[in-house]
Structure 1
Amino acid sequence: MSVSFLAPFLERSRWFGGKGRAFAVTGTRELLRLGGAPEVVLLLVEVTYDGGETELYQVPLAVHDEPQDRLEHAHVGHWPPGEAGRPAYDAPQDRIAMSQLLRAFGERPGFVRLPGHDLDLDAPGSLFSGEQSNSSVLFGEDSVLKLFRKVTPGENPDITTHRVLTEAGSPHIAQLYGWIEVEDLQLGMLQQFLRTASDGWDLALASVRDLFAEADLHAEEVGGDFAAEAARLGTALADVHAQLRASFPTSEVPGSSLASAMTARLDASVGVVPELAEYADAARSVFEAVAGLDVVPAQRIHGDLHLGQTLRTVAGWKLVDFEGEPAKPLAERLLPDSPWRDVAGMLRSFDYAPHAVAESMPEEDPDVLHQRGVRADEWARRNRKAFLASYCGEEGLSGTDRVLLTAYVVDKAVYECVYEARNRPTWLPIPLAGVARLTAG
């Protein structure tokens, strides 16, 4: 049976990772089916690109007996394909279909539910807008269901890490309530809805705007000073790292291997961003210092941490999305890594926030631009210092720690240069300035 109708749906979906590449849908498989009106089918779709690379995507379908005008924007095709097929729609956009998925938790095989929370099975569902790589549905003010779109057989670190931290009673995450698992595929996770949450990136940007609005004041003198929040966030990350270190296997990585990987990424990045060549020798020197370390302790970490992966609630800071860096293969995301990678991601995020605000503001005369740049650097430096001091605690940074952290921050800034060159060229000066600062002496 032909399943070619799925290709146009994938191409127009924000979460599809193969945009701009030639591909074909080469297979489908029903993972499970929930009876009812509509029927809910969790469909596994195999995509094959030119060159032979394959990926698996989850496409949850809401299969109705009759066409649904209210869901026309979410129409996928007919399922099963052919004359006997019925109208099928993208299920996360169908509230009735999502209610069926919610009620299946704890009642149907594959829908695992952790004890400890009295789940509201009658809460209405609504799709979050704006997500890039998954689809999340909010159920009232009780819970959120994240459906993974690109799936890989085996453990999903977002589920396993949240489970460990939930069972340990960590106050720094949204609690895990359950997950969907069929055969060796983990398809989605149900977790606590943080009703009072504010996005950490948005809060940081608001603080910067307050600073820029008071041209004659320093960062610590402005009402929206962020340093205390940065310090609390450092404490939260230190606590999470300690719990992960106690709960998952740890290992050691040879310093020479870590340095080689960073140097290889730098060399590849210079080919994409020629402006990096000016700083390449200095960056290599930073990485060579890591090669002089015998071994580097490694553990389970977040893997893609920045201010956009944090939420501020009345109960404190929460870390979200423990999937790791989406562009990396799952097997690589599951490997233990140095916690300094997470710290480096946060430090780079503190550097990004003020310069991102400055980039979005209208052009001014040179004196105003200079003053804005000085204040931006001041804000970033103040919050990096507050975060790092809180994360390290009384022991502070050892010499080895400083070598590692500097290397990870440079490695992250190099990665950002490639990302901006490919996606937001006007923002390239932000990470490029970071590389210049970090490699200067």
Structure 2
Amino acid sequence: MSKAASTRSNPRPAAVPRSVPPAEAEALVGSLAPLLHDWLPRQRWFAGKGRQVTGFVPVTVTELLPQDATGTSLLHLLVRVEQQSAGQGAQQAPGRAPADAGDCYQLLLGARTALPPRLAPALVGHATQGPLAGRTVYEGLHDPLLADVLIERLRTSGAVGALRFGRAGAIPAGLSSRLLDAEQSNSSLVYGDAYILKILRRVFPGPHPDLELPLALAAEGCERVPAPVAWFDAVDPSGSDEPLTLGVLQTFLRGSQDGWQLALAALDEGREFTDEARILGRATAEVHTALAAALPTVTLGRSQTAQVAHAMRERLDAAAQAVPALLPYVPGLRTAFDALAGLDAAGRGRPAQRVHGDLHLGQTLRSPDGSWSVIDFEGEPARPLAERRRPQPPVRDVAGMLRSFDYAARSHEPWRADWAARCRDAFCEGYAEAAGTDPRAEPELLRAYETDKAVYEVLYEARHRPDWLPVPMAAITRLADGS
């Protein structure tokens, strides 16, 4: 019997979940502020690194598990984090809202009278004031007991205060949980090797593509993407009609391997990866075809294409201000965006549709039977949600995957530029076989989107993984020359 099942076989006194009133929520978050000031900026998924945290404003606070007989409780918090604005000395990410508007984060915090040694890595701190005074606060997703509270909420569906839980089918009881430790911009729990629950950390009002697109693809019968089984969101307390998507439960592809690790293994073993790249190209085209059938498409005219190119130039200029190593390459990189702006001078429209938005090898999985799936439709987390939901040319996803082959080859010693080139060609060939159009047929379009992606990578690596900065900078050198 699983640990979760045995826990339920010895019931504790019932504790009723509740929404915490505003005044009480403000006092609670205020008492947690000293702990969060130190803990939150160290989290991999915290987007505001490099800017001073100046305050925390509660959006919603819900007791999913009020303090039980063992002294354990689970708090669900949506907290707006106020930070020093970019104009006060820190650089701001391209396309983001003003920093002092505050990003909203989802936190699931456990509290115990004493923390067991097995939960020591999850420690947030020891509360000395407020409602949790004298108790130990920790990251709740590490605790199987609290992870079980979440899956039970999804199993039964319904609402708890501002939180709403929904599902598309039955979920079995008694599933043990484990928290994935891979670095990512969100957090994921695996239940019984049958389901995976993605917890969105930085939340925005509006339909979230990580739920919206897999639901649309499932309705279209596309089997390249795991269908959502359940989800939860929150009512926006500001009064807007837009939901705040918080988590998505999908089928866990047990035994699958992600494309990034498979590519690195091929490099280590001196093997080609062209067959896999070609199949990935076909899979990507199948997803694009299904998205175009399931959701509205548009035609980008000359002015819209010019606006896309202008936005790329703005992102380049902002990134160069943040990363001075880019400055010598700016004139050469701008030629890619100038060429894009001039593509539709004759008035020919260009199709645009919903796309993945952040496609790379790490967003793909190969199952034991050799089939490939595409996952994580969140898009680039640094970009505003409205931009991520905007129809775009499918070549954006193609460019992301081409950059990923280059990343894999560049992260290997010695650098295998020829390996990456063959994978890039094979991917485009596979895409053309399924889509009927070859992404390489419009080199100006492909170069512009690949350049925009490389600029994004430079900014990301400079902020989060400086040791990786030479990888996108190698592509910047090539793209600035028009190669």
Query: TM-score scaled to structure 1, two decimals?
Result: 0.85
1:300 aligns with 2:330: no
SS at match of 2:199: strand
CA contact (8 A) 1:248 1:300 kept: yes
SS at match of 1:357: coil
Structure 2 counterparts to residues 27-176 of structure 1, below 5 A: 27-28=57-58, 29-31=60-62, 33-34=64-65, 37=68, 38-51=72-85, 52-64=100-112, 66-70=113-117, 71-76=119-124, 77-78=126-127, 81-82=130-131, 87-109=136-158, 110-115=164-169, 118-176=170-228
| Letter paired with 1:415 | Y
Q: Give, in angstroms, the shift of residue 423 of structure 1.
A: 4.7
How far apart in 2 are the matches of 1:45 and 1:272? Answer: 27
1:251 aligns with 2:298: yes
1:4-48 deviations in whole A, cap 9, x for unaligned?
Answer: 233233233332222332113332231453458444331112211
Cα distance change, pair 93–399 in 1 and its aligned pair in 2 (3 A): closer
Q: Give, in angstroms, the shift of residue 426 of structure 1.
A: 5.2
SS at match of 2:221: coil
1:369-395 deviations in whole A, cap 9, x for unaligned?
Answer: xxx45xx12111111111001102274
How far apart in 1 are the matches of 2:390 and 2:260? Answer: 27
Q: Which runs of 5+ in 1 are unaligned?
A: 212-223, 359-371
Cα distance change, pair 256–98 in 1 and its aligned pair in 2 (3 A): same
Residue among 425, 432, 443 paired with 1:385: 425
SS at match of 1:105: helix
CA contact (8 A) 1:179 1:188 kept: yes
Q: In the alignment, which residue of structure 1 is the partner of 2:255?
A: 196
How far apart in 2 are the matches of 1:83 and 1:382? Answer: 58
Q: In the alignment, which residue of structure 1 is the partner of 2:443?
A: 402
| Letter paired with 1:195 | R
How far apart in 2 are the matches of 1:146 and 1:425? Answer: 27
How far apart in 2 are the matches of 1:317 and 1:228? Answer: 12
1:22 aligns with 2:62: no
How far apart in 1 are the matches of 2:128 and 2:215? Answer: 35
| Letter paired with 1:325 | E
CA contact (8 A) 1:137 1:145 kept: yes
Query: TM-score scaled to structure 2, two decimals?
Result: 0.78
| Letter paired with 1:258 | V
Residue among 338, 346, 349 paired with 2:393: 338
CA contact (8 A) 1:45 1:58 kept: yes
Q: Give, in angstroms, the shift of residue 87 of structure 1.
A: 4.5
1:206-239 deviations in whole A, cap 9, x for unaligned?
Answer: 111222xxxxxxxxxxxx3211100110011001
How far apart in 1 are the matches of 2:440 and 2:151? Answer: 51
How far apart in 1 are the matches of 2:166 and 2:105? Answer: 21
How far apart in 1 are the matches of 2:467 and 2:123? Answer: 36
| Letter paired with 1:171 | E
Residue among 322, 326, 330 paired with 2:381: 326
**How many correspondences in the alignment?**
411
CA contact (8 A) 1:120 1:142 kept: no
Q: In the alignment, which residue of structure 1 is the partner of 2:24?
A: none
1:289 aligns with 2:344: no
Q: Give, in angstroms, the shift of residue 102 of structure 1.
A: 0.8
How far apart in 1 are the matches of 2:297 and 2:129? Answer: 47
How far apart in 2 are the matches of 1:20 and 1:426? Answer: 17
How far apart in 1 are the matches of 2:138 and 2:460? Answer: 34
Q: In the alignment, which residue of structure 2 is the partner of 1:6?
A: 36
1:355 aligns with 2:410: yes
1:153-185 deviations in whole A, cap 9, x for unaligned?
Answer: 221111111211223332212221110122122
How far apart in 1 are the matches of 2:251 and 2:468? Answer: 35
How far apart in 2 are the matches of 1:79 and 1:252? Answer: 58
Q: Aligned-pair RMSD on alpha carbons?
A: 2.6
How far apart in 2 are the matches of 1:18 and 1:274? Answer: 20
SS at match of 2:230: strand
| Letter paired with 1:168 | E
Q: Give, in angstroms, the shift of residue 131 of structure 1.
A: 3.1
Q: Give, in angstroms, the shift of residue 98 of structure 1.
A: 0.9
Q: Give, in angstroms, the shift of residue 80 of structure 1.
A: 9.3
Cα distance change, pair 131–79 in 1 and its aligned pair in 2 (3 A): farther
Question: Which stretch shifts more, 66-75 or 162-171?
Answer: 66-75
How far apart in 2 are the matches of 1:272 and 1:75? Answer: 33
Cα distance change, pair 36–144 in 1 and its aligned pair in 2 (3 A): farther
SS at match of 1:383: helix
Cα distance change, pair 413–61 in 1 and its aligned pair in 2 (3 A): closer
Percent identity over the alignment? 40
CA contact (8 A) 2:55 2:81 kept: yes
| Letter paired with 1:326 | P
Question: Which stretch shifts more, 78-87 or 300-309?
Answer: 78-87
Q: In the alignment, which residue of structure 1 is the partner of 2:94?
A: none
